[in-house]
């Protein structure tokens, strides 16, 4: 048998997907690019509040590396760089739609469960 059964990837085959897609800022970046189309860095920065330029740069580079985002450099004066969601990134749209539906249907129940739990403490 290859690998150790205690490795997260073997225990839960979606662990690599969760690591790629659901890190702190990845989902808002992909959601924004999907909803608003091609964006320049400053446009993303304005739409995704509370993200620092450093973190946005890091996440965009990682998403480009993972094939989720396409970066287009325009050699103009001044240079222009645009980001858009890739075909691979777009393939996540049904997953995001399901998660959005789940959130609408269930987050009130989660809040209620938390209140009940906290009341016991």
* Per-residue pLDDT tens digits for 33-90: 999 999 999 999 999 999 999 999 999 999 999 999 999 999 999 999 999 999 999 9
- Tell me: pLDDT of 118 over 90: yes
Q: Where residue 57 sits, what CATH number does that domain have?
A: 1.10.10.10
Q: Please write the tens of the pLDDT for every residue from 27-39.
A: 999 999 999 999 9
Which residues form the domain of 43? 1-88
Q: What is the pLDDT of residue 4?
A: 56
Q: Name which of 98, 95, 103 is nearest 14 in CA terms.
A: 95
- In this structure, are residues 88 and 68 in contact, taking their beta carbons and an 8 Å threshold? yes
Q: What is the pLDDT of residue 41?
A: 96
Residues in CB range of 41: below 8 A, 6 or more apart: 53, 56, 57, 60, 81, 83
Count the domains in the chain. Answer: 2
Residues in CB range of 7: below 8 A, 6 or more apart: none
Q: What is the pLDDT of residue 1?
A: 44
């Amino acid at each position: 048998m290859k690998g150790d059964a205690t490795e997260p990837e073997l225990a839960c085959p979606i662990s690599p997907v969760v690591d790629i897609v659901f890190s702190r800022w990845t989902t808002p970046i992909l959601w924004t690019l999907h909803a608003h189309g091609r964006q320049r860095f400053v446009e993303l920065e304005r739409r995704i509040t509370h993200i620092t330029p450093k973190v946005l740069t890091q996440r965009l580079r990682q998403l480009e590396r993972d094939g989720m985002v396409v970066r287009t450099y325009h050699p103009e004066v001044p240079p222009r760089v645009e980001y858009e969601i890739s075909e691979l990134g777009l393939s996540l749209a049904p997953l995001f739609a399901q998660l959005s539906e789940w959130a609408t249907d269930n987050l009130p129940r989660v809040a209620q469960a938390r209140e009940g739990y906290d009341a016991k403490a």
